[in-house]
Amino acid sequence: MMMETFTIRLKPDQDLFRSLNEFCLDQKITAGCILTCVGSLQKAALRLANQDNTSTWEDKFEIVSLVGTISIFGSHLHISISDGKGKTIGGHLVEGNLIYTTAEIVISAFPDLVYQREYCEESGYPELVVERKTT
């Protein structure tokens, strides 16, 4: 399986989720994953487990983990952040996470695969479908 690796840095006030989606579009990434991410947020927006609505916080947070799959056809990302006292919270990454000082992100892309999202009757959510590229 072929693999390409990218390293990007996001700057203050950039939206983490939106920037990753734009990067996928710019690089035409049809299948990829986050290898690592370190940085900080000044505003956090997460959809917590089993919740329909987004929760938001404004403070200074360290990004302690960012994991998931990315694609021009839809991404599924989870983030963990910690505050100045070390309290850590995590959930689904959505739009509204604004970079405080930096976000250093390493991305792996798989050019011979396509990650699609299709509605799953069992879960009730669009779930990952992996396909091999035909061309």
- Residue-wise pLDDT for 11-41, tens only, equals 999 999 999 999 999 999 999 999 999 999 9
pLDDT band for position 1 (50/70/90)?
confident
Strand pairing report for 32-47 and 55-70: antiparallel
Looking at the DSSP bridge assignments, the partners of residue 5 are 108
In 3D space, the residue among 3, 118, 112, 93 whose CA is nearest the CA of residue 43 turns out to be: 93
76-100: buried (b, 16+ CB within 10 Å) or exposed (e) per residue?
bbbbbbeeeeeeeebbbbbebbbbb
Domains held by the chain: number: 1
- What is the residue range of 47's domain? 4-132
Q: What is the pLDDT of residues 88-111, one digit of tens each?
A: 999 999 999 999 999 999 999 999
Structure tokens given for 86: 């070390």
Question: Which residue from 113, 92, 96 is spatially nearest to 33, judged by alpha carbons?
Answer: 113
CATH assignment at residue 79: 3.30.1330.80
